[in-house]
Structure 1
Amino acid sequence: SAYEAFRDLPVQVRIGALDLNKPLLLWINDGLMAIFFLVVALEIKREALSGQLAERSQLVLPMLCAAAGVLMPALLFTAFNRSDDAAMRGWAVPTATDIAFALGVLALLGSRVPTAMKLLLSTIAVVDDLIAILIIALFYSHGLSVTPLIWAAAALAAMVLLNRRGVTSLGPYLALGVVLWVCVLKSGIHATLAGVATGLLIPHVDKGNHIDDEKEHSPLETLEHALHPWVAYAILPLFAFVNAGLSLSGIELKDATAALPMGIVLGLVVGKPIGIVGAALLMRALGWAQFPAGMDLRAMIGLGLMCGIGFTMSLFIASLAYAEPLLYQEAVLGILAASVLSAIGGFLWLRAVLPAPGPRNA
């Protein structure tokens, strides 16, 4: 009861006619997660302009692997739940990869993990996040209101104008981002998309800069590095705390093997590796792309298993898809089970197939 009371704690902000009155759970999911998506958008833009996504020739493998890694879990989930319209609202739940947890598990394997695997996993996860953002925009927005949308468009236009005028100060962009968030929240489009739009419009004026004390960073990198610790150590743990709560009282085996949680488990644990590895094998057979240096088929299978860790984004999509407590609890059960199975399975598989690091030279 204390946990439910914390989630339902009413929080109100009122300025004149503007009245935002929501339980704490929605302030976290609509407000703090907008900051998380802001950081995701900053990362995507940086990678596209000066990082792993800048080389178009290197994009074929991760883009098609990510797309197949979204499609196959969705198909498996649909196969289990196609007769249940309410459950089908969560078809996108098993399509996401949690990059932080996946890279964290890889880190446990130490130096035996080739650098190319870490780069491929992070690139697939970035593309995966972009697809998830598009899915949220297209399928989880409802009841559009025209007037707030007009004001949101005006805020976006102002940020575009700031870019055109070469303004690099973060203050005006962040102020307009807050206005944009309020307008999007009131419009019926999910408020986190305001964070995405703001992140994509933060300027990245120095494409070749690096993190050092002698060179001025671009506004994008300055904001990304300022927000990243808050997102990693405060926002995401708080989001997980209020969204991953699961009462185990009364749960039986039949609940864990119901169509909805089983669709999520099979989508993440089986669908992700089948889609990713299948796409990689097909591209290699067609001569479109090769496995990265230091990776063979067994390593690709391990990477596919790691991509089945869907925790954060899967929980977020489930919160948008299921208003009914029972369906949401079943979804959380499936997400937690799938993420644990993928993490353990991927770790054990890679520990068995990757060569152990050799002794250090004297």
Structure 2
Amino acid sequence: MAHSEPSVRHRTVFLGRMPLPERNFVADALRTETVGGVLLLIAAVVALVLANTPARHGYAAVRDFAFGPGAVHLRLSVAHWCTDGLLTVFFFVAGIELKRELTTGELRSPAAAVLPVAAAVCGMLCPALTYLAVGGTHGGDLRGWAVPTATDIAFALAVLAVLGTALPAALRAFLLTLAVVDDLFAIVIIAVAYTATIRPVYLGLAVAGLVLFRLLLRKGVRGWYVYVPLAVVVWGLTHGSGVHATIAGVAMGLALPTGRGERVEHLVRPVSAGLAVPLFALFAAGVPVSGAALHAVFTAPETVGVVLGLFAGKILGVFGGSWLTARFTRAALGPELAWADVFAVACLGGIGFTVSLLIGELAFPVDPVLADEVKAAVLVGSLASAIAACVVLKLRNTRYRRLVEEEERDEDRDGVPDVYAQGDPAYHLRMAAIHEARAAEHRRLAEVTRRGTRPQDGPA
């Protein structure tokens, strides 16, 4: 026992109580993502309805309608404007989130970051290896290996919102950190694996625009009328370079200083979660769902690889990576939670909607039939992961409610939850006064009741 105490004392608590400012920031961010996730879910359902009813011809006509200046490679269909344009806003917010996590969040400390990073990395490797194993042994197209590697935080929170399940702050923060790291690697994959042709002149001009963007920020220049036009130019040059245009959004998000980035994120996140991502889903998730299409989902090696990658690969990767890291490093699970809770988050990680649909389009640009089948597989794999998460979350829901109630309790009504104020001497004085006031009130009521039950009161 004497030898075990130092190691316990110096262990990094995983999924423990978060600092109050970070908890409040995460709560605000996830609140917006939850609303956006519900809109995303609605948009996906509408897209499926439009693509599988007589309205499908009108839906296809709108989706494929092209407009924009062709001279600068920007004559794009509505669907491509949503994919290359609106999703840039989503990745811009992802870049700000990543910058914040690296400077003030979970990823600023290597000791605290090792577990969520390991969980995210394993949660991407296992789905990719699952896809390659299925595709490689059955003659499938291996270009889709990255499709099941993504996690969609908004869609995962939409599932939670529909269920009405409250996750404790630590689990929500872990899910958010997991998604941020996941987005980082997805960005790298998109930039490296799915960039076929590079136009050096456009790329050089885009980099110059980013340098100017950063210099203006360092000089303290303010005004949206300066940065928005410059951002549009950088985006257009990036698109023309052959690199996927969403990379420009990430780069500009990372360029923002942390404090200013949080203010910008507060303004832009509702646009991303409430408009950009749902519109992308409206035109990306509209795939035919017929007997033949569902048969292909469960028989074609590419689609089976996607379904198994999202469902089994993600769960195995996130949970296994977390457990192995906790087993062989100083990371320790928070005392109020169990490994079943990590398993629930691992299931939610298998909901890979937005970025998986994007990578599916990039992986099979010349085979629209296969691209649609892969999209259908993304929907099936995400649905299976959501159902598994629902089962585990419902089994743990009573425990979650108690934890959330404890996190939110504020008996002295000072605006700070009691669990964060218990180390403050002033808190104990306030609570002692509250308890004394309650005891005095109870004594007064008891005296009134006693006097009221006597037939006559004495002169006293």
Structure 1 length normalisation: TM-score? 0.89
Partners of 2:212 and 2:368 in 1: CA distance:
40
Q: Distance in 2 between matches of 1:85 and 1:79?
A: 10
| Distance in 2 (alpha carbons) for counterparts of 1:176 and 1:293 | 49
After superposing the two structures, state which structure 1 stretch, 69-78 or 295-304, moved more.
295-304
Which residue of the other structure, out of 248, 267, 274, is the alignment partner of 1:226? 267
Instruction: Find the aligned partners of 2:347 and 2:338 in 1 and give their Cα distance.
Output: 14
Taking a change above 3 Å as real, the CA distance of residues 79 and 69 of structure 1, as seen in their structure-2 partners, is same
Change (3 A) 1:29 1:108: closer
In structure 2, the residue matched to 1:150 is: 204
Query: What residue in structure 1 maps to residue 320 of structure 2?
Result: 278
Q: Residues 188-227 of structure 1 correspond to what in structure 2 (within 5 A)?
A: 188-204=242-258, 206=259, 218=260, 220-227=261-268
What CA deviation, in whole Å up to 9, does each residue of 1:314-346 have, x standing for no partner? Answer: 001111111211111111111001111111110
Q: Do the aligned partners of 2:99 and 2:254 also contact (CA within 8 Å) in 1?
A: yes
Superposed, which structure 2 residues align to 1:238-253 within 5 Å? 238-249=279-290, 251=292
Cα distance, 1:290 vs structure 2: 1.6
Q: Which amino acid aligns with 2:340?
A: R
Paired AA for residue 307 in structure 1: G
Q: How does 1:1-362 map to 2 (within 5 A)?
A: 1-13=57-69, 18=72, 20-82=74-136, 87-107=141-161, 113-204=167-258, 206=259, 218=260, 220-249=261-290, 251=292, 254-257=295-298, 258-323=300-365, 324-356=367-399, 357=401
Tell which deviates more after alignment, 20-29 or 243-252. 243-252
CA RMSD for the aligned pairs? 2.3
Counterpart CA distance in 2 for 1:221 and 1:113 is 24
Identity %: 39
Greater Cα radius of gyration, structure 1 or 2: 2
CA distance in 2, matches of 1:245, 1:358: 40
Quote the Cα distance in structure 1 between the aligned partners of 2:79 and 2:164.
Answer: 37
Mapped contact 1:116–1:294 kept (Cα < 8 A): no
Q: Is residue 66–residue 127 contact of structure 1 (8 Å, CA) maintained in 2?
A: yes
TM-superposed deviation, 1:109: 5.8
How many residues align? The count is 347
Q: Which has the higher helix share?
A: 2
Match of 1:210 in 2: none
C-alpha displacement at 1:59, in angstroms? 0.6
Cα distance in 2, alignment partners of residues 108 and 248 from structure 1: 23
**Alpha-carbon deviations, 1:34-82, whole Å to 9, x = none?**
1111111112112222233334321111000000000000000001112
Task: Give secondary structure in 1 for the equivalent of 2:107.
Answer: coil
Aligned residue identity for 2:346:
G
User: Helix, strand or coil: the match of 1:235?
Assistant: helix
Output the CA distance in 1 between the equivalents of 2:176 and 2:319. 16
1:270 is displaced (CA, Å) by 0.5
C-alpha distance in structure 2 between counterparts of 1:225 and 1:238, whole Å: 20
- Counterparts of 2:231 and 2:284 in 1: how far apart (Å)? 25
Alignment check: 8 A CA contact 1:11 1:21 kept:
yes
Distance between the aligned counterparts of 1:153 and 1:253, measured in 2?
A: 44
Cα distance in structure 2, aligned partners of 1:148 and 1:131: 24
1:167/1:69 CA distance change after superposition, 3 Å: same
Runs of 5+ unmatched residues, structure 1: 207-217
**What secondary structure does 1:290 align onto?**
strand
Match of 1:215 in 2: none
CA distance in 1, matches of 2:304, 2:135: 9
Q: Provide Cα deviations, 1:122-162, integer angstroms capped at 9, x if missing partner.
A: 11111111110111111111211111112112112212322
> Shift of the alpha carbon at 1:347?
1.2
Structure 2 residue runs without a partner (length 5+): 1-56, 412-460
C-alpha distance after superposition, 1:261-281 (max 9, x if no partner)? 111111111111111111111
TM-score, normalized by length of structure 2? 0.71
Cα distance, 1:152–1:109 mapped onto 2, change above 3 Å: same
